[in-house]
Structure 1
Amino acid sequence: MATQSARKDSRIAGYDHDDPGLRTGDGGLTIWDLQKMAQEKRLNELNDLFDNGLTMNALPVGVCAGTVARVFDLNATPLPEWLDWFAEKNWRGKIYFSSNDKTVSEGRNRVRSSVVNPLSPFIPMCKFKTMLVDSHPLAPRAKSNIVILDYSDPLTEPYMLERLVKQIPLIDLMVAVKGKYGPMFIGKTWLGRYDEKGGFTASNPDKLSNWYFLDFNEGALKEQRESHSDGSKEEMLDPLPHVSN
Protein backbone atom coordinates (compact mmCIF):
# COMPACT_ATOMS: atom_id res chain seq x y z
CA MET A 1 0.00 0.00 0.00
CA ALA A 2 1.32 3.43 -0.86
CA THR A 3 -0.20 6.78 -0.06
CA GLN A 4 -0.18 9.17 -3.00
CA SER A 5 -0.19 12.95 -2.88
CA ALA A 6 -0.45 15.36 -5.79
CA ARG A 7 1.44 18.59 -6.32
CA LYS A 8 -0.67 21.52 -7.47
CA ASP A 9 1.14 24.34 -9.24
CA SER A 10 -0.70 27.67 -9.46
CA ARG A 11 1.57 28.66 -12.34
CA ILE A 12 0.19 25.94 -14.66
CA ALA A 13 0.09 27.21 -18.26
CA GLY A 14 -0.47 25.43 -21.52
CA TYR A 15 -2.86 24.86 -24.40
CA ASP A 16 -6.39 26.19 -24.69
CA HIS A 17 -8.99 23.46 -25.17
CA ASP A 18 -10.16 25.10 -28.41
CA ASP A 19 -6.66 25.36 -29.90
CA PRO A 20 -7.09 24.23 -33.55
CA GLY A 21 -3.62 22.71 -33.50
CA LEU A 22 -4.92 19.95 -31.19
CA ARG A 23 -7.46 18.75 -33.79
CA THR A 24 -5.93 16.15 -36.12
CA GLY A 25 -9.00 15.71 -38.37
CA ASP A 26 -9.77 12.74 -40.60
CA GLY A 27 -7.54 9.80 -39.80
CA GLY A 28 -6.89 11.04 -36.27
CA LEU A 29 -7.53 9.03 -33.14
CA THR A 30 -10.90 8.90 -31.40
CA ILE A 31 -11.83 7.57 -27.96
CA TRP A 32 -13.18 4.45 -29.69
CA ASP A 33 -9.78 3.87 -31.32
CA LEU A 34 -8.14 4.21 -27.90
CA GLN A 35 -10.64 1.77 -26.39
CA LYS A 36 -9.77 -0.76 -29.10
CA MET A 37 -6.07 -0.29 -28.40
CA ALA A 38 -6.67 -1.09 -24.72
CA GLN A 39 -8.83 -4.12 -25.52
CA GLU A 40 -6.08 -5.38 -27.81
CA LYS A 41 -3.59 -4.86 -24.95
CA ARG A 42 -1.48 -2.39 -26.92
CA LEU A 43 -0.47 -0.96 -23.59
CA ASN A 44 2.96 0.29 -24.61
CA GLU A 45 1.30 2.58 -27.16
CA LEU A 46 -1.23 3.83 -24.64
CA ASN A 47 1.40 4.40 -21.97
CA ASP A 48 3.53 6.33 -24.47
CA LEU A 49 0.57 8.59 -25.27
CA PHE A 50 -0.19 9.03 -21.57
CA ASP A 51 3.41 9.83 -20.64
CA ASN A 52 3.74 12.39 -23.45
CA GLY A 53 0.45 14.23 -23.10
CA LEU A 54 -0.41 17.89 -23.54
CA THR A 55 -0.14 20.46 -20.77
CA MET A 56 -3.49 22.29 -20.65
CA ASN A 57 -4.17 25.69 -19.08
CA ALA A 58 -7.49 24.71 -17.49
CA LEU A 59 -9.79 21.84 -16.69
CA PRO A 60 -12.24 20.81 -19.40
CA VAL A 61 -15.81 22.10 -19.08
CA GLY A 62 -19.06 20.59 -20.31
CA VAL A 63 -20.36 17.20 -21.40
CA CYS A 64 -18.07 14.53 -22.81
CA ALA A 65 -18.40 11.18 -24.54
CA GLY A 66 -16.60 8.33 -22.79
CA THR A 67 -15.37 4.77 -23.27
CA VAL A 68 -13.75 2.31 -20.85
CA ALA A 69 -11.62 -0.82 -21.21
CA ARG A 70 -10.52 -3.35 -18.62
CA VAL A 71 -7.25 -4.88 -19.68
CA PHE A 72 -6.44 -7.60 -17.16
CA ASP A 73 -7.95 -9.90 -14.55
CA LEU A 74 -8.08 -8.19 -11.16
CA ASN A 75 -8.71 -11.51 -9.39
CA ALA A 76 -11.50 -9.73 -7.57
CA THR A 77 -14.68 -11.40 -8.84
CA PRO A 78 -17.26 -10.06 -9.56
CA LEU A 79 -15.55 -6.68 -10.02
CA PRO A 80 -14.02 -7.31 -13.48
CA GLU A 81 -17.33 -8.47 -14.93
CA TRP A 82 -19.15 -5.57 -13.28
CA LEU A 83 -16.74 -3.01 -14.74
CA ASP A 84 -17.19 -4.27 -18.29
CA TRP A 85 -20.96 -4.56 -17.98
CA PHE A 86 -21.28 -1.18 -16.28
CA ALA A 87 -19.17 0.61 -18.87
CA GLU A 88 -20.80 -0.94 -21.91
CA LYS A 89 -24.41 -0.61 -20.84
CA ASN A 90 -24.66 2.05 -18.18
CA TRP A 91 -22.04 4.79 -18.66
CA ARG A 92 -21.76 7.42 -21.41
CA GLY A 93 -19.09 9.79 -20.11
CA LYS A 94 -18.79 12.69 -17.68
CA ILE A 95 -19.94 16.25 -17.07
CA TYR A 96 -17.48 18.92 -15.89
CA PHE A 97 -18.75 22.07 -14.19
CA SER A 98 -17.27 25.50 -14.84
CA SER A 99 -15.55 27.21 -11.91
CA ASN A 100 -13.93 30.49 -10.86
CA ASP A 101 -10.63 28.68 -10.34
CA LYS A 102 -10.18 26.90 -13.67
CA THR A 103 -7.90 24.30 -12.10
CA VAL A 104 -10.36 23.11 -9.41
CA SER A 105 -13.94 22.01 -9.92
CA GLU A 106 -16.35 19.08 -9.67
CA GLY A 107 -18.57 17.04 -11.91
CA ARG A 108 -20.84 14.05 -12.45
CA ASN A 109 -20.91 10.88 -14.48
CA ARG A 110 -23.49 10.17 -17.18
CA VAL A 111 -24.96 6.97 -15.73
CA ARG A 112 -28.10 4.92 -16.38
CA SER A 113 -30.61 5.49 -13.58
CA SER A 114 -31.55 1.83 -13.10
CA VAL A 115 -29.55 -1.36 -13.33
CA VAL A 116 -32.81 -3.31 -13.64
CA ASN A 117 -34.36 -1.46 -16.58
CA PRO A 118 -31.94 -1.58 -19.57
CA LEU A 119 -33.73 1.34 -21.26
CA SER A 120 -33.94 3.62 -18.23
CA PRO A 121 -32.69 7.16 -18.83
CA PHE A 122 -29.16 8.33 -18.16
CA ILE A 123 -28.84 10.88 -15.36
CA PRO A 124 -25.97 12.84 -13.77
CA MET A 125 -24.68 10.96 -10.70
CA CYS A 126 -21.52 9.57 -9.06
CA LYS A 127 -20.04 12.97 -8.26
CA PHE A 128 -16.34 13.70 -8.18
CA LYS A 129 -14.01 16.50 -7.20
CA THR A 130 -11.38 17.36 -9.79
CA MET A 131 -8.13 19.28 -9.93
CA LEU A 132 -5.49 20.08 -12.54
CA VAL A 133 -2.08 19.42 -11.00
CA ASP A 134 1.50 19.69 -12.10
CA SER A 135 2.35 16.08 -11.21
CA HIS A 136 1.19 13.02 -9.29
CA PRO A 137 3.15 10.10 -7.76
CA LEU A 138 0.90 7.53 -9.45
CA ALA A 139 2.03 8.87 -12.84
CA PRO A 140 5.74 9.62 -12.36
CA ARG A 141 6.59 9.43 -16.08
CA ALA A 142 3.92 11.87 -17.25
CA LYS A 143 5.54 14.93 -18.82
CA SER A 144 2.32 17.00 -18.94
CA ASN A 145 0.07 18.23 -16.19
CA ILE A 146 -2.57 15.81 -14.91
CA VAL A 147 -6.27 15.90 -14.11
CA ILE A 148 -7.28 14.14 -10.87
CA LEU A 149 -10.81 12.83 -10.25
CA ASP A 150 -11.45 12.24 -6.56
CA TYR A 151 -14.33 9.89 -5.68
CA SER A 152 -14.08 10.07 -1.89
CA ASP A 153 -17.69 11.33 -1.70
CA PRO A 154 -19.60 10.07 -4.80
CA LEU A 155 -23.14 10.10 -3.38
CA THR A 156 -25.79 12.48 -4.74
CA GLU A 157 -28.94 10.36 -4.22
CA PRO A 158 -29.49 6.81 -2.94
CA TYR A 159 -28.65 5.22 -6.30
CA MET A 160 -27.39 1.64 -6.27
CA LEU A 161 -24.46 2.37 -8.57
CA GLU A 162 -23.30 5.28 -6.41
CA ARG A 163 -23.33 3.05 -3.33
CA LEU A 164 -21.27 0.50 -5.26
CA VAL A 165 -18.67 3.15 -6.15
CA LYS A 166 -18.59 4.19 -2.49
CA GLN A 167 -17.81 0.60 -1.51
CA ILE A 168 -15.06 0.23 -4.14
CA PRO A 169 -12.91 3.36 -3.62
CA LEU A 170 -11.07 4.51 -6.73
CA ILE A 171 -9.19 7.46 -8.16
CA ASP A 172 -8.79 8.58 -11.78
CA LEU A 173 -5.85 10.39 -13.38
CA MET A 174 -6.02 11.62 -16.95
CA VAL A 175 -3.95 13.57 -19.47
CA ALA A 176 -4.86 15.36 -22.69
CA VAL A 177 -3.71 14.19 -26.14
CA LYS A 178 -4.43 15.31 -29.69
CA GLY A 179 -7.46 13.74 -31.36
CA LYS A 180 -9.59 13.72 -34.48
CA TYR A 181 -12.09 16.22 -33.06
CA GLY A 182 -9.72 18.11 -30.78
CA PRO A 183 -8.05 17.35 -27.45
CA MET A 184 -9.24 14.18 -25.74
CA PHE A 185 -8.23 12.53 -22.49
CA ILE A 186 -6.56 9.23 -21.68
CA GLY A 187 -7.36 8.14 -18.15
CA LYS A 188 -6.16 5.50 -15.70
CA THR A 189 -8.06 4.19 -12.67
CA TRP A 190 -6.60 2.74 -9.47
CA LEU A 191 -8.38 0.98 -6.63
CA GLY A 192 -7.49 1.71 -3.03
CA ARG A 193 -8.92 3.62 -0.10
CA TYR A 194 -9.55 7.19 1.07
CA ASP A 195 -8.60 8.32 4.57
CA GLU A 196 -10.65 10.64 6.73
CA LYS A 197 -8.99 13.70 5.17
CA GLY A 198 -9.68 12.54 1.61
CA GLY A 199 -6.16 11.32 0.88
CA PHE A 200 -6.01 8.31 -1.43
CA THR A 201 -3.89 5.20 -0.89
CA ALA A 202 -3.52 2.91 -3.90
CA SER A 203 -3.76 -0.79 -3.13
CA ASN A 204 -1.11 -1.44 -5.77
CA PRO A 205 0.34 1.62 -7.54
CA ASP A 206 1.70 -0.59 -10.34
CA LYS A 207 -1.67 -2.18 -11.17
CA LEU A 208 -4.54 -0.37 -12.89
CA SER A 209 -8.15 -1.45 -12.70
CA ASN A 210 -8.99 0.03 -16.11
CA TRP A 211 -8.31 2.64 -18.77
CA TYR A 212 -10.90 5.20 -19.83
CA PHE A 213 -11.09 7.80 -22.60
CA LEU A 214 -13.01 11.10 -22.78
CA ASP A 215 -13.74 13.61 -25.54
CA PHE A 216 -15.56 16.90 -24.86
CA ASN A 217 -15.67 17.99 -28.52
CA GLU A 218 -18.99 18.23 -30.36
CA GLY A 219 -17.74 15.90 -33.09
CA ALA A 220 -17.22 13.10 -30.56
CA LEU A 221 -20.61 13.71 -28.93
CA LYS A 222 -22.24 13.57 -32.38
CA GLU A 223 -20.46 10.30 -33.19
CA GLN A 224 -21.56 8.86 -29.85
CA ARG A 225 -25.21 9.79 -30.49
CA GLU A 226 -25.22 8.46 -34.04
CA SER A 227 -23.06 5.35 -33.78
CA HIS A 228 -22.62 4.28 -30.14
CA SER A 229 -26.00 4.80 -28.47
CA ASP A 230 -28.98 2.51 -27.85
CA GLY A 231 -31.40 5.41 -28.03
CA SER A 232 -32.03 5.69 -24.28
CA LYS A 233 -33.09 9.14 -23.10
CA GLU A 234 -30.82 11.30 -20.99
CA GLU A 235 -31.51 13.93 -18.36
CA MET A 236 -29.07 16.81 -18.61
CA LEU A 237 -28.23 19.61 -16.20
CA ASP A 238 -29.44 22.81 -17.85
CA PRO A 239 -27.73 25.09 -17.27
CA LEU A 240 -24.62 23.31 -16.08
CA PRO A 241 -23.76 24.28 -12.50
CA HIS A 242 -20.95 26.71 -11.78
CA VAL A 243 -18.56 26.13 -8.87
CA SER A 244 -17.71 29.34 -7.01
CA ASN A 245 -14.24 28.82 -5.58
Structure 2
Amino acid sequence: MKVLVPVKRVVDANVKVRVNADNTGVDTANLKMAINPFCEIAVEEAVRLKEAGVASEVVVVTVGPKAAQEQLRTAMALGADRGVHIETDEELVPLSIAKLLNAVQSREEAQLIILGKQSIDGDNNQTGQMLAALGKMPQATFASEVKVEGGQLAITREIDGGLQSITLPLPAVVTADLRLNEPRYAKLPNIMKAKRKPLDTLSIDDLGVSLKSHQKVLKVTPPAERKGGVMLASVAELVEKLKNEAKVI
Protein backbone atom coordinates (compact mmCIF):
# COMPACT_ATOMS: atom_id res chain seq x y z
CA MET A 1 0.00 0.00 0.00
CA LYS A 2 1.33 3.41 -0.99
CA VAL A 3 0.79 6.34 1.38
CA LEU A 4 0.90 9.94 0.12
CA VAL A 5 1.61 12.63 2.71
CA PRO A 6 1.29 16.31 1.75
CA VAL A 7 3.40 18.61 3.95
CA LYS A 8 3.62 22.38 4.24
CA ARG A 9 6.53 24.74 4.90
CA VAL A 10 5.62 27.17 7.70
CA VAL A 11 7.36 29.48 10.13
CA ASP A 12 8.65 27.44 13.06
CA ALA A 13 6.04 27.24 15.82
CA ASN A 14 8.49 28.64 18.39
CA VAL A 15 9.25 31.79 16.39
CA LYS A 16 7.40 35.04 17.05
CA VAL A 17 6.12 36.38 13.73
CA ARG A 18 5.75 40.03 12.75
CA VAL A 19 3.74 41.77 10.04
CA ASN A 20 5.84 43.44 7.34
CA ALA A 21 5.97 47.21 6.97
CA ASP A 22 3.45 47.49 4.11
CA ASN A 23 0.86 45.25 5.86
CA THR A 24 0.72 42.77 2.99
CA GLY A 25 1.70 39.70 4.99
CA VAL A 26 4.01 38.17 7.57
CA ASP A 27 7.69 39.09 7.39
CA THR A 28 9.45 35.76 6.86
CA ALA A 29 12.93 37.14 6.15
CA ASN A 30 15.59 35.31 8.18
CA LEU A 31 12.99 33.31 10.11
CA LYS A 32 13.43 29.63 10.91
CA MET A 33 11.08 27.50 8.78
CA ALA A 34 9.85 24.00 9.55
CA ILE A 35 7.32 21.33 8.62
CA ASN A 36 3.85 22.26 9.79
CA PRO A 37 3.43 20.38 13.12
CA PHE A 38 0.22 18.60 12.03
CA CYS A 39 1.93 17.54 8.80
CA GLU A 40 4.77 16.11 10.89
CA ILE A 41 2.21 13.99 12.74
CA ALA A 42 0.89 12.76 9.39
CA VAL A 43 4.42 11.80 8.28
CA GLU A 44 4.98 9.94 11.54
CA GLU A 45 1.75 7.96 11.13
CA ALA A 46 2.63 6.99 7.56
CA VAL A 47 6.10 5.84 8.65
CA ARG A 48 4.58 3.80 11.47
CA LEU A 49 2.28 2.09 8.99
CA LYS A 50 5.32 1.21 6.89
CA GLU A 51 7.24 -0.08 9.90
CA ALA A 52 4.23 -2.25 10.79
CA GLY A 53 4.32 -3.80 7.31
CA VAL A 54 1.00 -2.24 6.30
CA ALA A 55 2.44 0.35 3.89
CA SER A 56 5.08 -0.42 1.28
CA GLU A 57 6.03 3.16 0.33
CA VAL A 58 5.65 6.63 1.83
CA VAL A 59 5.73 9.57 -0.58
CA VAL A 60 5.80 13.16 0.68
CA VAL A 61 4.67 16.08 -1.47
CA THR A 62 4.78 19.82 -0.98
CA VAL A 63 3.78 22.94 -2.89
CA GLY A 64 6.00 25.97 -2.51
CA PRO A 65 9.27 27.72 -3.36
CA LYS A 66 12.55 25.94 -3.99
CA ALA A 67 13.45 26.30 -0.31
CA ALA A 68 10.55 23.98 0.57
CA GLN A 69 12.74 21.06 -0.50
CA GLU A 70 14.32 21.40 2.93
CA GLN A 71 11.07 20.27 4.52
CA LEU A 72 10.78 17.36 2.09
CA ARG A 73 14.30 16.24 3.04
CA THR A 74 13.33 16.50 6.71
CA ALA A 75 10.29 14.28 6.07
CA MET A 76 12.50 11.78 4.27
CA ALA A 77 14.89 11.81 7.22
CA LEU A 78 11.90 10.88 9.39
CA GLY A 79 11.28 7.83 7.22
CA ALA A 80 9.55 8.82 3.96
CA ASP A 81 10.93 7.07 0.86
CA ARG A 82 10.82 9.85 -1.72
CA GLY A 83 9.54 13.36 -2.30
CA VAL A 84 7.57 15.33 -4.89
CA HIS A 85 8.03 19.09 -5.04
CA ILE A 86 5.56 21.27 -6.94
CA GLU A 87 7.64 24.40 -7.28
CA THR A 88 5.91 27.78 -7.26
CA ASP A 89 6.53 31.14 -5.62
CA GLU A 90 2.82 31.98 -5.58
CA GLU A 91 0.83 32.11 -2.35
CA LEU A 92 -1.90 29.59 -3.11
CA VAL A 93 -5.23 29.16 -1.31
CA PRO A 94 -6.40 25.73 -0.05
CA LEU A 95 -8.57 25.03 -3.11
CA SER A 96 -5.61 25.53 -5.45
CA ILE A 97 -3.42 23.33 -3.24
CA ALA A 98 -6.11 20.64 -3.25
CA LYS A 99 -6.28 20.72 -7.06
CA LEU A 100 -2.52 20.26 -7.32
CA LEU A 101 -2.51 17.44 -4.77
CA ASN A 102 -5.35 15.74 -6.65
CA ALA A 103 -3.24 15.89 -9.81
CA VAL A 104 -0.33 14.29 -7.94
CA GLN A 105 -2.66 11.62 -6.58
CA SER A 106 -3.79 10.84 -10.14
CA ARG A 107 -0.15 10.09 -10.95
CA GLU A 108 0.77 8.27 -7.75
CA GLU A 109 -2.50 6.37 -7.19
CA ALA A 110 -1.86 6.09 -3.47
CA GLN A 111 -4.24 3.96 -1.41
CA LEU A 112 -4.07 6.35 1.56
CA ILE A 113 -3.51 10.09 1.78
CA ILE A 114 -2.71 11.46 5.24
CA LEU A 115 -2.57 15.23 5.85
CA GLY A 116 -2.33 17.40 8.91
CA LYS A 117 -5.79 18.66 9.83
CA GLN A 118 -4.65 22.28 9.35
CA SER A 119 -1.58 24.46 9.01
CA ILE A 120 -0.48 26.77 11.82
CA ASP A 121 -0.22 29.78 9.51
CA GLY A 122 -3.55 29.88 7.67
CA ASP A 123 -5.47 27.64 10.13
CA ASN A 124 -8.01 27.01 7.37
CA ASN A 125 -8.66 23.28 7.94
CA GLN A 126 -9.85 22.96 4.33
CA THR A 127 -7.28 21.25 2.10
CA GLY A 128 -7.95 17.65 3.14
CA GLN A 129 -11.70 17.98 2.72
CA MET A 130 -11.37 19.69 -0.65
CA LEU A 131 -8.92 17.03 -1.85
CA ALA A 132 -11.35 14.27 -0.88
CA ALA A 133 -14.16 16.01 -2.76
CA LEU A 134 -12.09 16.59 -5.89
CA GLY A 135 -10.81 13.01 -5.90
CA LYS A 136 -14.24 11.57 -5.01
CA MET A 137 -12.65 9.71 -2.09
CA PRO A 138 -14.06 8.98 1.37
CA GLN A 139 -12.55 11.04 4.17
CA ALA A 140 -12.02 10.97 7.92
CA THR A 141 -11.01 14.21 9.60
CA PHE A 142 -9.49 14.85 13.05
CA ALA A 143 -8.17 11.28 13.31
CA SER A 144 -6.71 10.24 16.67
CA GLU A 145 -6.19 6.58 15.68
CA VAL A 146 -5.63 4.93 12.28
CA LYS A 147 -5.75 1.18 11.63
CA VAL A 148 -5.93 -0.86 8.44
CA GLU A 149 -8.19 -3.88 8.88
CA GLY A 150 -9.34 -6.22 6.14
CA GLY A 151 -8.54 -3.81 3.33
CA GLN A 152 -10.41 -0.97 5.04
CA LEU A 153 -9.46 1.89 7.32
CA ALA A 154 -10.67 1.88 10.90
CA ILE A 155 -10.52 5.46 12.15
CA THR A 156 -11.13 6.93 15.58
CA ARG A 157 -11.83 10.62 15.23
CA GLU A 158 -12.29 13.39 17.74
CA ILE A 159 -15.66 15.15 17.78
CA ASP A 160 -17.32 17.61 20.14
CA GLY A 161 -19.10 14.86 22.05
CA GLY A 162 -16.05 12.61 22.46
CA LEU A 163 -14.75 9.94 20.07
CA GLN A 164 -16.30 8.49 16.91
CA SER A 165 -15.27 5.20 15.27
CA ILE A 166 -15.80 4.81 11.51
CA THR A 167 -14.60 2.53 8.71
CA LEU A 168 -13.64 3.68 5.23
CA PRO A 169 -12.90 1.88 1.95
CA LEU A 170 -9.61 2.62 0.22
CA PRO A 171 -8.38 4.85 -1.31
CA ALA A 172 -9.23 7.44 1.32
CA VAL A 173 -8.17 10.79 2.76
CA VAL A 174 -7.37 11.16 6.47
CA THR A 175 -6.48 14.35 8.34
CA ALA A 176 -4.37 13.96 11.48
CA ASP A 177 -5.27 15.41 14.85
CA LEU A 178 -2.83 16.37 17.59
CA ARG A 179 -3.32 13.18 19.62
CA LEU A 180 -2.71 10.75 16.74
CA ASN A 181 0.94 10.23 17.72
CA GLU A 182 4.14 11.83 18.98
CA PRO A 183 6.52 12.53 16.04
CA ARG A 184 10.06 11.21 16.32
CA TYR A 185 13.26 13.20 15.94
CA ALA A 186 15.38 12.64 12.86
CA LYS A 187 18.68 10.88 13.60
CA LEU A 188 21.88 12.11 12.01
CA PRO A 189 22.45 8.96 9.88
CA ASN A 190 18.90 9.27 8.54
CA ILE A 191 19.43 12.95 7.77
CA MET A 192 22.47 12.01 5.67
CA LYS A 193 20.56 9.20 3.92
CA ALA A 194 17.68 11.58 3.13
CA LYS A 195 19.99 13.66 0.94
CA ARG A 196 20.29 10.72 -1.46
CA LYS A 197 16.60 9.80 -1.61
CA PRO A 198 14.71 10.61 -4.86
CA LEU A 199 13.05 14.03 -5.07
CA ASP A 200 11.08 14.96 -8.19
CA THR A 201 10.45 18.60 -9.03
CA LEU A 202 7.34 19.53 -11.01
CA SER A 203 5.74 22.76 -12.13
CA ILE A 204 2.05 23.60 -12.09
CA ASP A 205 2.06 23.30 -15.90
CA ASP A 206 3.58 19.81 -15.67
CA LEU A 207 0.50 18.69 -13.78
CA GLY A 208 -1.86 20.26 -16.32
CA VAL A 209 -3.79 22.13 -13.62
CA SER A 210 -5.41 25.46 -14.37
CA LEU A 211 -5.54 27.72 -11.33
CA LYS A 212 -7.31 31.01 -10.77
CA SER A 213 -7.48 33.58 -8.01
CA HIS A 214 -10.19 32.77 -5.47
CA GLN A 215 -9.54 35.48 -2.92
CA LYS A 216 -7.54 38.65 -2.36
CA VAL A 217 -5.78 39.70 0.83
CA LEU A 218 -6.54 43.35 1.46
CA LYS A 219 -4.51 43.93 4.60
CA VAL A 220 -2.64 42.02 7.29
CA THR A 221 -2.44 43.52 10.77
CA PRO A 222 -1.11 42.20 14.07
CA PRO A 223 -3.57 41.51 16.89
CA ALA A 224 -4.14 44.32 19.37
CA GLU A 225 -1.78 44.24 22.32
CA ARG A 226 -3.34 43.01 25.52
CA LYS A 227 -3.50 45.49 28.36
CA GLY A 228 -1.89 44.63 31.65
CA GLY A 229 -4.05 43.19 34.39
CA VAL A 230 -4.74 44.76 37.77
CA MET A 231 -4.96 43.26 41.24
CA LEU A 232 -8.25 43.80 43.06
CA ALA A 233 -8.73 43.80 46.79
CA SER A 234 -12.15 42.19 46.95
CA VAL A 235 -14.97 40.52 45.05
CA ALA A 236 -17.05 43.66 45.52
CA GLU A 237 -14.41 45.69 43.67
CA LEU A 238 -14.36 43.12 40.87
CA VAL A 239 -18.14 43.29 40.49
CA GLU A 240 -17.99 47.08 40.44
CA LYS A 241 -15.42 47.09 37.61
CA LEU A 242 -17.33 44.49 35.60
CA LYS A 243 -20.47 46.54 35.94
CA ASN A 244 -19.19 50.11 35.46
CA GLU A 245 -15.99 49.73 33.38
CA ALA A 246 -16.33 46.53 31.35
CA LYS A 247 -20.13 46.83 31.33
CA VAL A 248 -20.60 43.09 31.04
CA ILE A 249 -23.04 42.78 33.91
Q: Same fold (TM over 0.5)?
A: no
The TM-score normalised by the length of structure 1 is 0.30
Greater length-normalized contact order (CA 8 Å, ≥ 6 residues apart): 1
The TM-score normalised by the length of structure 2 is 0.30
Q: Normalized per residue, which structure has more helix? A: 2
